[in-house]
Amino acid sequence: MTAALERRDLLLLGERIRAASAATRPLMIEIIDRACRRLPSLRQSAGTARVMSLIDVEAWADAALALMELELPLWQVRRIAYDDGEWHCALSRQRELPDWLDSAVEGRHADLALSLMSAFAEVQVLTAEAARPSVPSVRPARDPLYEPIGCDNVG
């Protein structure tokens, strides 16, 4: 899968999360299938079993937090707040910084679990973009007449 296709899929998943009215098992499984890179390699781990058992008992917010713990070990929940009928969730890599210095990723939704998953999807989009190099990784062909020299400017 190309990085552009993966980014587009993650953006569509984010839209699907924001459009959902409540967390459901099929939606959580779709999030795991489309946005999780680490979980498939941890199939037999205790963490994976914990996430799946939380999904089975419909503990959506706990499942979202457990999933973020497995998939985003460098990210932490910075803030969860409820305001004007919506949950706001901010994830950060540097939670100790003051708010005005931090570049937190935020998600919001009327459902707490979907607010968490919305922020999760946004982080996955960011990490997919960061994984791509900013410049091509093609090495230039050396000129056959090029020969490096050293020169000391000793006066």
Evaluate the CA torsion angle 120, 125, 131, 133 in order and state its sign.
Answer: negative
Q: Distance of alpha carbon 50 from its chain centroid, rounded?
A: 20
Residues 134, 125: Cα–Cα separation, whole Å: 16
The pTM (predicted TM-score) of the whole model is: 0.75
- The pLDDT score that the predictor gives to residue 83 is 94
CA distances from 91 to 53, 74, 81 (A): 24, 10, 12
- The pLDDT score that the predictor gives to residue 41 is 64
- In the predicted model, residues of the chain with pLDDT beneath 50 are 1
- The pLDDT score that the predictor gives to residue 1 is 47
- Locate 145 and state its tokens: 């007449």
- The pLDDT score that the predictor gives to residue 18 is 94
Which residue blocks in 1-155 are alpha helix, DSSP H?
3-19, 25-35, 46-56, 60-71, 112-131
- The pLDDT score that the predictor gives to residue 27 is 95
Asked whether 111 and 23 are in contact (CB, 8 A), the reply is yes
- The pLDDT score that the predictor gives to residue 143 is 61
- The pLDDT score that the predictor gives to residue 7 is 81
Asked whether 19 and 11 are in contact (CB, 8 A), the reply is no
